[in-house]
Amino acid sequence: MRAREALTNAATLASYSAGLQVMFRVLTFILNGYTLRYVSKETIGVVNVRLTLLYSTVVFLAREAFRKACLNVGVERKWSQIINLLWLTVPLGVFWALIMAWVWLNLVAIPDPAVIPHYEVGVVAFGFSAVVELLAEPMWVLAQVHMLVIAESLAIAVKCVLTVVCITLVPHWGLYVFSLAQILHSFTLLACYLLYFMKFIGSREAQRKSFPLTSLTDLLPKPLPRQHVIDLQLAKLTWTFYKQSMLKQILTEGERYVMTFLNVLNFGEQGIYDIVNNLGSLVARFLFLPIEESFYIFFGNVLERGKDPRHQREEDVGLAALVLKMLLKMVFLIGMTISVFGYSYSQLALDIYGGSWLSSGPGPGLLRCYCVYVLLLAVNGVTECFTFAAMSNQEVSRYNFVMLALSLSFLGLSYCLTWWQGAIGFILANCLNMGLRITHSLWYIRRYFRSTEHQPLRGLQLATPLLLVYLTSGVVTVISQAALCCDQGLFSRSLHVLFGAICLLAVVVAIVSTEPKLVQFIRAHFLSRDKTEIVKWE
């Protein structure tokens, strides 16, 4: 029953998170498209690549290891110790913010002040916003572990609204606009958590969920008489994950580090790459990331870390294998659909979003390559989600060497392929690197379940009729794109979209026909409001 309850909670959290992400990110997407018409691509390159990299580096290095360690705990843990441990993210964030700000101001190329003024203000503002956001970390972890859905995307929406208003009214402010919006984003995020927990703590819902805190002051760090100030076991696990943090950050943001430190692209080219990257990763942020975060908690609650499946409850292992198989099937089909249709509709999407200056250059080629990368992102997210939840501490430590090799190979590939193919080289390097990470995770999963009758990796196998429908749809949409898009007028574009809609409908019908168990899984765990249906499903 504990395993089924964890599955119910994880699916609920993933579906609500994805829904909220879609709602607010669609607004963000529209507002960003508006902003493109008022801001130069050089400014976009500095803000979205250079300054955002500073911010993401600080928050990732300060909190990622703590999140991975503290999300993999049950409600029976001593939360006072965990909260004390989580507050270490703040001084750690201050340390990394100071280091990174110095690097960004002294060791990388500074933009021409005549083209991009106020760069120094931007560096300080983005570093400061990262530290402010870390103040909410204990509340974020509590919200995730206890399955409380918080609309974090509201902060992003507020940031975009302010950016649009200021860009429209005072475009000459330049980086001041983006700096102010970034700081407001972090304070909005912190305020959302504070207001939510002020209302939630002590409520009937908190009592029903056995929430461990009784007052808002319990969120503050405090000395603990007759016990350790922090959970030493979690601290050790955090350190194990922390040794991976920098390597994983290089893998996650590697192309931006290469652009920032090696100057392989100018700021304008960086801006175009970032726009395409953001457009291509919409599904990854909307759907794959909430699934990965939520089901990491599920696998961590159901399976015992580092323990052979033969020595765990057979029902728990079977449920974990079944859920892993269904998740792999689901994200693989989503990734396949994006890859097949992305090739023929990339140019049209960029033309609608940013205008001809975005769709007539290297943008369409970049987005087509990125659609293939999304497929790899989908599979890697789920496989690593399971792998990191099941690995022992020793296995996680050994994986650091794998991460080191992957990081070095990725940086080398990015540099070489970018000189050869331009911005597309970054995506090619990402694809190769992601393929290696998937290979490692698949090897681990196969080895983990080899002593059982379960074969979750069969989730990556598709029925032959479905593959034929995908192939036919790809051919039809490619021909439609060549004949009708994208400078043939509104009528031709509409026909192109119509052909795509018909092919997409055929794909959906084929999926429903060939994958009935997957459809049942999605209905039970993501779409159903009646959670008793979850218990009945198998």
* Span 116-166, pLDDT tens digits: 888 999 999 999 999 999 999 888 888 776 545 555 667 777 787 888 888
Mean pLDDT: which of 92-101, 169-178, 222-231, 260-269 is highest?
A: 92-101
pLDDT value at 1 more than 50:
no
Query: Dihedrals φ, ψ of 70, to 5°?
Result: -85, -20
User: What distance lies between CA 455 and its chain's CA centroid?
Assistant: 27
Query: Dihedrals φ, ψ of 367, to 5°?
Result: -70, -35
Q: How far apart are the first and last CA of the chain?
A: 14
Which residues span the domain enclosing 54? 2-463+515-536
Residue-wise DSSP of 147-189: T----THHHHHHHHHHHHHHHHH-GGGTHHHHHHHHHHHHHHH
Task: Note the pLDDT of residue 75.
Answer: 46
Q: How confident is the model at residue 13 (pLDDT cuts 50, 70, 90)?
A: low
pLDDT value at 401 more than 90:
no
Task: Note the pLDDT of residue 531.
Answer: 42
Query: Dihedrals φ, ψ of 424, to 5°?
Result: -60, -30
| Listed residue (56, 50, 384, 47) closest to 249, CA to CA | 56
Q: Which two tokens stand for residue 411?
A: 């940086």
Q: How confident is the model at residue 312 (pLDDT cuts 50, 70, 90)?
A: confident
* Span 436-492, pLDDT tens digits: 999 999 999 999 888 888 889 998 888 999 999 999 999 999 999 888 877 777 888
Helices then strands, each counted (H, E), the chain: 23, 0
In the predicted model, what is the mean pLDDT of residues 173-188? 89
Q: Which two tokens stand for residue 94?
A: 């201050």
In the predicted model, what is the mean pLDDT of residues 299-322? 84
Q: How many CB atoms lie within 10 A of CB 26?
A: 14
Q: Which two tokens stand for residue 321?
A: 């294998």
Task: Note the pLDDT of residue 6.
Answer: 57
Q: How confident is the model at residue 505 (pLDDT cuts 50, 70, 90)?
A: very high
Residue 76 lies in a domain: yes
CA–CA separation, 95 and 61 (whole Å): 10
Residues contacting 268, CB < 8 A, separation 6+? 40, 41, 42, 45
Lowest mean pLDDT among 10-14, 171-175, 303-307, 464-468: 10-14
* Span 56-89, pLDDT tens digits: 999 999 998 888 888 765 545 578 888 888 999 9
What is the enclosing helix (H) or strand (E) of 522? helix 516-522
Single-letter code of the amino acid located at 505: L
* Span 231-266, pLDDT tens digits: 788 888 888 888 777 777 777 777 788 888 887 788
Residue 496 lies in a domain: no
Helix runs in 355-463, H state only: 356-359, 363-390, 393-421, 424-448
Residues contacting 177, CB < 8 A, separation 6+? 162, 163, 166, 167, 170, 171
Number of domains in the chain: 1
Residue 489 lies in a domain: no
Q: Which two tokens stand for residue 260?
A: 């920032």
Q: Which two tokens stand for residue 264?
A: 């392989």
Cis peptide before 371 (omega within 30 of 0): no
CA–CA separation, 291 and 191 (whole Å): 25
* Span 16-37, pLDDT tens digits: 555 555 555 566 667 667 777 7
CB 274 within 8 A of CB 423: no
Residue 32 lies in a domain: yes
Task: Note the pLDDT of residue 187.
Answer: 92
Q: Percent of the chain beyond pLDDT 90? A: 25
Q: Percent of the chain beyond pLDDT 70? A: 88
Residue 59 lies in a domain: yes
Length of the chain: 538
pLDDT value at 538 more than 50:
no
CA–CA separation, 174 and 160 (whole Å): 15
pLDDT value at 532 more than 50:
no
| Listed residue (527, 41, 8) closest to 269, CA to CA | 41
| Listed residue (103, 85, 64, 90) closest to 403, CA to CA | 64
Q: Which two tokens stand for residue 76?
A: 């029976």
pLDDT value at 406 more than 90:
no
Residue 469 lies in a domain: no
CB 66 within 8 A of CB 88: yes
Residue 474 lies in a domain: no
Task: Note the pLDDT of residue 407.
Answer: 77
CB 122 within 8 A of CB 51: yes
Task: Note the pLDDT of residue 132.
Answer: 95
Residue-wise DSSP of 215-276: SGGGGS----TTS-SS-HHHHHHHHHHHHHHHHHHHHHHHHHHHHHHH--S-HHHHHHHHHH
What does pTM read for this prediction?
A: 0.71
Residue 132 lies in a domain: yes
Q: What is the 8-class DSSP label of residue 107?
A: T
CB 59 within 8 A of CB 93: yes
Task: Note the pLDDT of residue 28.
Answer: 60
Q: What is the 8-class DSSP label of residue 511?
A: H
Token pair 């606009």 in the structure block, residue: 177
Lowest mean pLDDT among 33-42, 67-76, 270-279, 376-385: 67-76
pLDDT value at 197 more than 50:
yes
CB 231 within 8 A of CB 95: no
CA–CA separation, 272 and 293 (whole Å): 29
CA angle 300, 306, 310 (to 5 degrees): 95
CA–CA separation, 9 and 196 (whole Å): 19
Q: How many CB atoms lie within 10 A of CB 7?
A: 24
Task: Note the pLDDT of residue 269.
Answer: 82
User: What distance lies between CA 189 and its chain's CA centroid?
Assistant: 17
User: What distance lies between CA 264 and its chain's CA centroid?
Assistant: 26
